[in-house]
Amino acid sequence: MQQLVPEGYLFTDHFRVDATDAYWPAASLNFFEASKDYGELVGSFRVLPMPEETLAAGLWVSSEHRRKGIGTQLVRNVIGRYGNHDIRLKVNPFEDKPVTLHALIRFYAGLGFLIDKSYKAAPVVMVRRAW
């Protein structure tokens, strides 16, 4: 796992309501984003903070910018902000399957997520317990 913040990328987050959001339409979501110096959006991850736990979904990094630690940094930024609550997500590779389910489970496991066995149906649910 990379330990350094990827160079040449800007990491930000902001709340936004998006009625067309595929995961939680019309909810107030905290979008964690990565962009190139010149402003191109190259990665995002969104969270829905709730009183008991935080839900996360839609981790994505643009194909030309993968394997540089950006996905890891986006997850770390969410943990940094919300790690005092449980963080729950579905492990659901995008349809073009750039990464296998198995690789994604290992990716999240390396960041402290465990499979939540109380969910028996696909997709796999993982949770990172509050610290």
Ligand X SMILES: CC(C)(COP(=O)(O)OP(=O)(O)OC[C@H]1O[C@@H](n2cnc3c(N)ncnc32)[C@H](O)[C@@H]1OP(=O)(O)O)[C@@H](O)C(=O)NCCC(=O)NCCS
Residues that bind ligand X (CB under 6 A): 59-61, 66-72, 91-94, 98-99, 103-104, 107
**Shortest-Cβ-distance residue relative to ligand X:** 71
Q: How far apart are CA 96 and CA 106, in angstroms?
A: 19
Q: Nearer Cβ to ligand X, position 83 or 107?
A: 107
Q: How far apart are CA 28 and CA 41, in angstroms?
A: 20
Q: How far apart are CA 112 and CA 119, in angstroms?
A: 18
In total, the chain counts a number of residues equal to 131
Least separation in angstroms between CB 9 and ligand X = 10
Q: Nearer Cβ to ligand X, position 93 or 112?
A: 93
